[in-house]
Every structure is written in C-alpha cells, then in structure tokens.
Amino acid sequence: MATEGSTDGGGTNGANATPARSSYSSEVLQLLSLDHPGLILVSSPLDGKNFLAWSRAVKRALGAKSKLGFITGTQKKPTGDPELIEQWTRVDCMVASWLLNTMTKNISNAFIYAKSALWTLWTDLEQRYDQRNGPLLYQIEREITSASQGDLSVVDYFTKLQMLWDELVQVRPIPECTCGCICTCGVAKATADLAEERQLMQFLMGLNDEYDNVRSQILVNEPLPSVNVAYSMVLRVEKQRQVHLAEPQFRCSYACWNL
C-alpha cells in the first residue's frame, strides 16, 4: 500500500514537486509505540453517508499526530534518499491502515488493494462520498428548521443543533473577506453576526414552552446575546428546575427516615 508516489525531481515546480529531506520534520516521519496498524482514529466509521463529519474527525486526528500531509498531498513520496523513502513509505502505509480501520467493511474492501499513494486514496474518497450538493443542503436546512427540544435535555438539544450547524458550514461555507489581513469593508463581522443571530433564533424556537420566560428575557436584550450565552442562560434555568423538582422527594425521604 502507498509505495508509488510522485517521482518528479527536486527541481520540479507545482503540485508534483518532490520535497527535500528538510521538508520533513522529525514528527512527520515518527511513529510512536502506540502507533500500530490496528489503531482506530475515530469512533464513527465511514458508512458512505457521513463523509463530512468523518473526514473532519480524521483530519483532526491526523493533524494531532503530524500526519495530515499524507492525505492532503503536501507530504509526497521523496526521491533519491533510500533511507528517507523507506521512512516515508512506512508512515504512509501506517496511516493507510488507520484510514481503512475507520471505514465500514464494505467501503474498506474497495480500497484495501489500492497501490497508489495515500493522498490519491483520499482524493478518491472525496470524489465518491463528498456530496456537497443541493439535496444535502436541503436535508440539513430542513433538519435545522424542524429541530425541537421535545424529550431532550437542553444539553442534548443544543448539541444536536451544533452538529447540524457544523455540517451546514461544511456544505455551505460562510463567505470570507478578501481585504487581506485586516478587514476594512466590515463584511466578515457582518456575516458572522448574521450567522450567530440565525443560530440564536433557531435555538430559541425549538425550546419547550417551559422556557418561555427565559426565552423572552433573552429576546428583549439589546444587543442580542450570542447563542452560547443564551444556551448558558437556558441551561441555568433547567438546572434550577431540576433542583426544585428534587426537593419534595428529598423532604419525603428525610421525613420517612426520621419516623
């Protein structure tokens, strides 16, 4: 696995340029004692429908291990130095094993015999499963619009919304300012504020009626609080309600114990 990479000379420019030895830090080519072929990077395997969340988790895990460049193509196979080639191939094969371990059996079987470099395997995965299209956008927006607390705790309800918001950003990224290092047009802050306000309204609309008072308290604030501040306020009310509900039961138990 992953023994055939770019073989262009060191003077070649562009995406196929082969990095020199100095391009590889000690962490990139280092494998620790806990880094074995059976390692599972993420808890939820790729099943064909969860590529966005799965790829994000995998990238985060590989980034923590200084191995992200093996799937992005920035750490391609070197040439000329046999020792460096051997080290690179060993790590490339190891990361490939980690990826296969985080897929369902049906999907991993389709890639287990691949002989190309690991970054081309990742490209194949993106082409097959990274479906950032209209139907997916519609599905996410519909789930956000219809989301309600119901029987969920405030924590679980907010976490559900947060996951949907994160998926939405992956499918429809927030526009970025092109002014340079320092934004002078104000579009970056305005866009972020609008997205924050939208999330706040979505969170408040799905809360159960028992939170009407705190919801009204949040809405009369000027300016409106962030969605995280609103979440903290609602969570505080939920904990207060739980304490009040537990008090009669505690008093009854205490009275029975003293009989």
Whether 156 and 238 share a structural domain: yes
pLDDT of residue 136: 82
* pLDDT tens per residue, range 166-220: 888 888 877 776 776 676 777 778 888 899 999 999 999 999 999 999 999 999 9
pLDDT bracket for residue 16 (50, 70, 90): very low
Residues 82-94, mean pLDDT to the nearest whole number: 91
The radius of gyration of the chain from alpha carbons, rounded to an integer in Å, stands at 25
Total count of domains within the chain: 2
pTM of the model: 0.62
Whether 172 and 115 share a structural domain: no
Whether 162 and 222 share a structural domain: yes
pLDDT of residue 256: 54
pLDDT of residue 257: 54
Q: Look up residue 114 and give its two tokens.
A: 């691949």
Q: Look up residue 28 and give its two tokens.
A: 């990139």
Per-residue pLDDT for 235 more than 70? yes
Is 58 in contact with 118 (CB distance < 8 Å)? no
Which of 211-240 are b and which e, b meaning 16 or more Cβ less than 10 Å from the residue's Cβ? beebbeebeeeeebbebeebbebbeebbee
Range of the domain at 140: 134-176+190-257
Whether 90 and 197 share a structural domain: no
Residue 15 inside a domain? The answer is no
Mean pLDDT, the chain, rounded, equals 83
Whether 112 and 139 share a structural domain: no
Helix (H) or strand (E) holding 227: helix 227-257
Per-residue pLDDT for 13 more than 70? no
Per-residue pLDDT for 6 more than 50? no
Whole-number Å distance between alpha carbons of 125 and 120: 9
Whole-number Å distance between alpha carbons of 24 and 87: 11
Residues 14-26, mean pLDDT to the nearest whole number: 53
Per-residue pLDDT for 30 more than 80? yes
Residue 206 inside a domain? The answer is yes
Whether 239 and 138 share a structural domain: yes
pLDDT of residue 113: 80
* pLDDT tens per residue, range 110-169: 888 876 668 888 988 988 888 777 888 898 999 999 999 999 999 999 999 999 998 888
Residue 11 inside a domain? The answer is no
pLDDT of residue 111: 87
Residue 7 inside a domain? The answer is no
Alpha carbon separation from 241 to 212, 220, 236, 237, 244 (Å, rounded): 13, 22, 9, 6, 5
